[in-house]
Amino acid sequence: MTFAVRYYTKTGNTKRLAEAIAKELGVEALPITEPVKEPVDALFLGNSYYAFTIDPEVRSFVASLDKAKVGRIVNFGSAAMLNSTYKKIKAEADKVGIPMDEKEFHCKGEFKGLHKGRPNEDDLKDAIAFAAQYK
């Protein structure tokens, strides 16, 4: 299987998860400003909630994806208050005809002192174990 890892973060939390996942998959974690140029079986997409929804840049990134190059999207991320962005990302992926993997990874993320130190080492280990399922 071939993989790509892209992420969007304002705090650095999702970048830490992306880097752990990418290392496990043997690829580089890149921000969503870097397009997916080569065909991949799975695009691991890291994101979070900002003001109770996904960031407009994440929407634009998903809208820019070529369904001929991306087999499916695997969602992952962290958030301090809300949980999974899966449904929001799936709604965007459906618009461009890219299926979502049913599994995802989500953990708490530190924000303004809430969930201090998260994602922590255990969260990163869990993210690595999640990614290892796809190898």
Q: Which domain holds residue 82?
A: 3-132
Do the Cβ atoms of 3 and 44 come closer than 8 Å? yes
Q: What is the CATH number of the domain that holds 11?
A: 3.40.50.360
Secondary structure (3-state) at 127: helix
**22-63 pLDDT, tens digit each:** 999 999 999 999 999 999 999 999 998 776 789 999 999 999
pLDDT for res 15: 96
Is it the case that residue 16 has pLDDT exceeding 90? yes
Using the 8-state DSSP alphabet, how is residue 9 labeled? -
Size of the chain, expressed as the number of residues it contains: 135
Number of domains present in the structure of the chain: 1
**56-103 pLDDT, tens digit each:** 999 999 999 999 999 999 999 987 666 789 999 999 999 999 999 999
Whole-model pTM: value is: 0.94
DSSP 28-86: -EEETTS---S-BSEEEEEE--BTTB--HHHHHHHHH--TTTBS-EEEEEEESS----H
**End-to-end CA separation in angstroms for the chain:** 7
Is it the case that residue 123 has pLDDT exceeding 80? yes
Is it the case that residue 9 has pLDDT exceeding 80? yes
Nearest to 23 by CA among 95, 125, 113, 121: 125
